[in-house]
Amino acid sequence: VPRKVSMVFRKLPGVSASGMGLRLSQKFVFLLFLSALVTLCFGALFFLPDSVRLKRIFLSKTETQPVTVGSGSENDVREHFKKPKEQDHPRGMTSAKGESSTRLKSLRRKPPLPPLATEERLSGGRAQEDLTLSRTRTESASEKASAADRGSDSDTFSYARFQRCLLKPPLGRDHGKPSDPRTDERREKVKEMMKFAWDNYKLYAWGKNELRPLTKNGHIGNMFGGLRGASIIDSLDTLYIMGLMDEYNDAKEWVKTSLDLNSNGEASLFEVNIRYVGGLLAAYYLTGEEVFRSKVLELGEKLLPAFSTPTGIPRGVINLGSGTSWSWGWASAGSSILAEFGTLHLEFVHLTELSKNPIYTEKVMNIRKLLNKIEKPHGLYPNFLSPVSGNWVQHHVSIGGLGDSFYEYLIKSFLMSDKTDGDAKKMYYEAMEAIEANLVQKSPGGLTYMAEWRGGILDHKMGHLACFSGGMIGIGADDGAPEKRQHYLDLAAEITHTCHESYSPTKLGPEAFRFDDGGEATATRLNDRYYILRPEVIESYMYMWRLTHDPKYREWGWEAVQALEQHCRVEFGFSGIRDVYTTAVSHDNMQQSFFLSETLKYLYLLFSDDDLLPLEDWVFNTEAHPLPVIQSESYQSDRSVTINV
């Protein structure tokens, strides 16, 4: 046998049978050494602390472990936005059944991140970076919705799940059709007014922001920074709830094909938010059309740079293209306006809901945090605040212009949270106590009104804008101290009555009215006598009707319908008038977009049954765009809806 082996190996050059045993041993030892070396190297690769980059060389992307959001540093935030699906949500909630593997999400009412857990991340100076990071999400909206509706592991918003959380159908049993024929006839009249206003806008101003009905052309204006179609966006939900479906579909098609968000002009953060963001959010929640969701999320990102200030208080004007922002030139000492930075909360919380990006809620929670910190004179909130120092600039307080919707958004934030946002509730009722103690006045003729406060000196003037407060106080009556419920309802009724009294003799009200020099709810100055189709008085009628069902509110609303028809309807639309005290009216040639969004919508709701956009499910933003209540966790759990907050 050895001879045969020797003969075989002779065929291999340089190998002899006599040296075979020694060379095999050398090879065996060498292989053992090499194996040990390789094992040592790979052990170091996976266990030494600074081996992350080496791991990325050898491991595929799907095997790489996610970076954990920890300290709240900017790098952590960056990873959080880039990899929304690779890590637990900060609140770490699971389903009602305790299943941690399936992370289905639905609307909820609490901020995505508790204030104490996010204090280091609430700086306003990071908005531009946050904007860039949020754009790294590449999954399409339709893919996300599909995944969520299949019940897959997803951090996306599910429209189908949202619908299941509503207590009642948005449009009621029969689209809110009242059983009383006379009321239904009045409702149909409001619907006809809406169609008339819309048809003329479409005919003469399509794609522009507003219609000029006397000259039959469109108006662009400079409030929206180059954005177009304000009347279209403002009308989407009104057309839909009125059942004007051909008109709604035209509006939807324009949004899909012509709404260009790549503008490069000076936009009011406030106006873009309440009209465009609010209008698109409402249209999406009512219809589920994905185009509205994608557009509103794109627009929401463009607003974030306005928060890039030392305090996080946004400036009032923003260039939607460059992201630069500044304060209004007329604002004292470069200040921001209470009613502007205080009227973002509802929309921004819903931007977080739809995007699952917590940055929007963080920005508005930062505003609230600062307001809770600073001292308030007599418990009141002045109208001007420095976005640099975080201090009040002037001690001018008003429930009308400059201040109005800040207070509205406090109580509506509480209601929209399904009454879990205790911080908003506390701020609202403390503000109401200060308002009653310092601003609420009774005229010699017995009319209750809201005066303005200038450093301790009362100005006995009330603006038309302040007339929303009747409805605001009414919807907040049930949730304060129980013994004060009737007090708040009475105060709401008195304020609404005062505003109705200002609607005389044309049954349309002036921009501002006074209670001094013998005046009783009368515009004593010529430049206060105009009416620009405003909705605030009618808004309070609608809320007071739903709260009390006192028929006088519907009668007062019908008076307003007749007055609008008589004094504001012209051949090609509706126009504001310059003097409400003369029947020989002079028109201002402007059909405001809020006339379509608010005035006509509130009138239509006033003459509808309460199950059309029921207040249990919906909160109206300050432009009357309905946003859904974010249902409480206990309610969702009862319906076996998985919560991930």
Measured CA to CA, the distance from residue 146 to residue 302 in angstroms comes to: 26
Q: Is 253 a catalytic residue?
A: no
Angle between helices 181-205 and 230-241 (to 10 degrees): 150
How many residues in the chain? 645
Residue partners of 357: CB distance under 8 A and separation at least 6: 81, 84, 134, 351
Q: Is 210 a catalytic residue?
A: no
Q: Is 86 a catalytic residue?
A: no
- Pairing mode of beta strands 396-397, 452-454: antiparallel
Residue 588 backbone phi and psi in degrees, to 5 = -95, 0
Of 214, 294, 220, 200, give the one whose Cα is nearest residue 263.
220
> Bridge-partner residues for 458, per DSSP?
453
Residue 319 backbone phi and psi in degrees, to 5 = -90, 110
Please, are residues 617 and 565 in contact by the beta-carbon 8 Å criterion?
Answer: no
Of 645, 465, 568, give the one whose Cα is nearest residue 96.
645
The first and second tokens of residue 416, run together, are: 């929209």
The first and second tokens of residue 216, run together, are: 């039959």
Of 508, 534, 161, give the one whose Cα is nearest residue 354.
161
Of 58, 74, 55, give the one whose Cα is nearest residue 66.
55
What is the DSSP-derived secondary structure letter of residue 276? I
Q: Is 138 within any annotated ligand binding site?
A: no
Is residue 376 exposed (0-12), middle (13-18) or buried (19+ Cβ within 10 Å)?
middle
Measured CA to CA, the distance from residue 78 to residue 85 in angstroms comes to: 14
The first and second tokens of residue 16, run together, are: 């002899």
What is the DSSP-derived secondary structure letter of residue 377? G
The first and second tokens of residue 620, run together, are: 């109206």
Host H or E run for residue 459: strand 457-459
The first and second tokens of residue 461, run together, are: 């003037």
Is residue 449 exposed (0-12), middle (13-18) or buried (19+ Cβ within 10 Å)?
buried
Using CA atoms of 562, 568, 569, 571 in order, give the dihedral in degrees to the nearest 10: 160
The catalytic residue among 536, 539, 611, 633 is 536
Question: How many C-beta neighbours within 10 Å does residue 2 have?
Answer: 7
The catalytic residue among 130, 347, 404, 623 is 404
Q: Is 271 a catalytic residue?
A: yes
Q: Where are the alpha helices (DSSP H) in 48-167?
A: 52-58, 74-82, 127-134, 141-149, 159-164
DSSP SS3 for 171: coil
Using CA atoms of 435, 438, 440, 445 in order, give the dihedral in degrees to the nearest 10: 180
The first and second tokens of residue 44, run together, are: 């170091």
505 preceded by a cis bond (ω within 30 of 0): yes
Please, are residues 364 and 354 in contact by the beta-carbon 8 Å criterion?
Answer: no
Rg, Å, the chain Cα set:
31
The first and second tokens of residue 604, run together, are: 């239509």
Measured CA to CA, the distance from residue 354 to residue 102 in angstroms comes to: 19
DSSP SS3 for 483: helix
Measured CA to CA, the distance from residue 638 to residue 96 in angstroms comes to: 8
Binding residues for Ca(2+): 622
Which of the residues are catalytic?
271, 404, 511, 536
